């Protein structure tokens, strides 16, 4: 098995993971969860849409919640490109690749490009948003998990190897990856544009679906504090996994399920990986704890459940990679 080659001079300049657009059944309930527990700030609430940002973010939004009466879904995941010229180049690139790319108007964003990747994930690109005050030093406004900025999102999909190659042609660099037991193919890829371990994470599973989106927070104490706050406010069972420490990326983390079941991660302690000699880190497939360096495995729901994209069929993975869930781990212990 070979890993795709990096492209250091990409056809257009994606700079980072930018935002996520979700639908929710009860906007007021979601607002309470994302502000009082997670600690996001409200930039605007307009009609059936709520726009939220992290405490250090000057962009208008990194999370958009839209009211729905149907099944909650993820409408799109968003990336930033550096300039409007990059948007034009992206449009040409995707059109040449046979993908339908369309310019659209989106509130509070500059010119915006919609495209669906070949694996079914709906993407959105923009080069600018309206500017909001950074609340980084407005400490009296910091609540709950004190979410600082959107860092990455994780997509579950059937063909990680193929999607990894697709995104690396656009300049994403592989920071870490996990291979199958006999190393035939990549089953988890950690891809980055902004110089830390990931903007886009791809995991082998039925999909495409979004597994989670992740915000940074300030320290490990806050990861414990946010669990206490969640419990006090009636969200104790929404704490799905952690606090703990990941293997790949090394982050300390805690995962929540929001009132509609969408999964959000708060984490800290990423590292810098941008120099040209930084080789991708391969995780030993025979390491018994290859996905984390201590603690119990993730429960089955964390491994298998995610949020669907609109109108996109969920297909089984090309590779059946056995995952040791918490349930299997405890059953094997007896």
Binding site for Fe ion (CB under 5 A): 214, 265
C-beta of 52 vs 266, nearer to Fe ion: 266
* DSSP conformation class of 122: E
Q: Tell me the closest approach of the beta carbon of residue 280 to Fe ion, in angstroms.
A: 17
Question: Tokens for 277?
Answer: 């000699």
CA-CA distance, 201 to 187, in Å (whole number)? 11
CA-CA distance, 117 to 237, in Å (whole number)? 34
C-beta of 151 vs 321, nearer to Fe ion: 151
Determine the 3-state secondary structure of 240 from DSSP: strand
C-beta of 160 vs 214, nearer to Fe ion: 214
Q: Are 4 and 168 in contact (CB under 8 A)?
A: yes
Q: Tell me the closest approach of the beta carbon of residue 154 to Fe ion, in angstroms.
A: 5
Q: Tell me the closest approach of the beta carbon of residue 232 to Fe ion, in angstroms.
A: 25
CA-CA distance, 65 to 47, in Å (whole number)? 11
Q: Tell me the closest approach of the beta carbon of residue 245 to Fe ion, in angstroms.
A: 12
Q: Tell me the closest approach of the beta carbon of residue 54 to Fe ion, in angstroms.
A: 15
C-beta of 26 vs 305, nearer to Fe ion: 305
Q: Are 78 and 87 in contact (CB under 8 A)?
A: no
C-beta of 43 vs 154, nearer to Fe ion: 154
Judged on CB neighbours under 10 Å (0-12, 13-18, 19+), 207 is buried
Q: Are 175 and 191 in contact (CB under 8 A)?
A: yes
Q: Are 185 and 161 in contact (CB under 8 A)?
A: yes
The residue of the chain with the least Cβ separation from Fe ion equals 214
Distance of CA 38 to the CA centre of its chain: 15
Q: Quick count: other Cβ atoms within 10 Å of Cβ 261?
A: 15
C-beta of 278 vs 292, nearer to Fe ion: 292
CA-CA distance, 13 to 294, in Å (whole number)? 37
C-beta of 117 vs 151, nearer to Fe ion: 151
* DSSP conformation class of 47: T
Q: Tell me the closest approach of the beta carbon of residue 146 to Fe ion, in angstroms.
A: 17
Q: Tell me the closest approach of the beta carbon of residue 63 to Fe ion, in angstroms.
A: 15
C-beta of 202 vs 214, nearer to Fe ion: 214
Q: Tell me the closest approach of the beta carbon of residue 249 to Fe ion, in angstroms.
A: 7
Question: Strand runs (DSSP E) across 205-308, as ranges?
Answer: 209-216, 239-245, 252-257, 263-268, 281-283, 307-308
């Amino acid at each position: 098995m070979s890993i795709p080659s990096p492209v250091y001079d990409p056809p257009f300049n994606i700079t980072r993971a930018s935002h996520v657009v979700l639908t929710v059944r009860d906007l007021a309930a979601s607002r309470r969860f994302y502000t009082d527990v997670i600690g996001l700030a409200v930039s605007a609430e307009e009609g059936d849409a709520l726009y939220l940002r992290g405490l250090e973010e000057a962009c208008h939004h990194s999370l958009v919640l839209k009211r729905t009466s149907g099944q909650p879904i993820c409408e799109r995941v968003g990336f930033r490109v550096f300039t409007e010229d990059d948007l034009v180049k992206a449009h040409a690139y995707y059109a040449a690749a046979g993908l339908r790319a369309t310019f659209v108007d989106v509130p509070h964003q500059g010119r915006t490009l919609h495209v669906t990747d070949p694996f079914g994930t709906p993407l959105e690109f923009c080069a600018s948003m309206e500017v909001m005050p950074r609340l980084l030093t407005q400490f009296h406004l910091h609540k709950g998990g004190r979410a600082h900025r959107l860092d990455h999102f994780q997509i579950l999909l059937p063909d990680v190897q193929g999607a990894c190659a697709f995104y690396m042609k656009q300049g994403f660099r592989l920071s870490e990856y996990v291979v199958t037991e006999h190393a035939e193919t990549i089953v988890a890829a950690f891809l980055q544009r902004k110089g830390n371990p990931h903007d886009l994470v791809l995991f082998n599973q039925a999909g495409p679906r979004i597994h989670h989106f992740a915000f940074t927070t300030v320290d490990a104490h806050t990861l414990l504090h946010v669990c206490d706050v969640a419990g006090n406010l009636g969200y104790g069972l929404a704490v799905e996994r952690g606090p703990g420490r990941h293997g790949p990326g090394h982050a300390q983390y805690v995962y929540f399920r929001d009132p509609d079941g969408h999964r959000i991660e708060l984490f800290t302690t990423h590292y810098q990986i941008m120099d040209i000699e930084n080789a991708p880190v391969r995780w030993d497939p025979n390491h018994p704890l290859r996905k984390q360096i201590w603690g119990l495995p993730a429960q089955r729901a964390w491994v298998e459940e995610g949020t669907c994209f609109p109108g996109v069929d969920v297909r089984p993975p090309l590779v059946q990679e056995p995952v040791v869930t918490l349930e299997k781990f405890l059953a094997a212990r007896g």
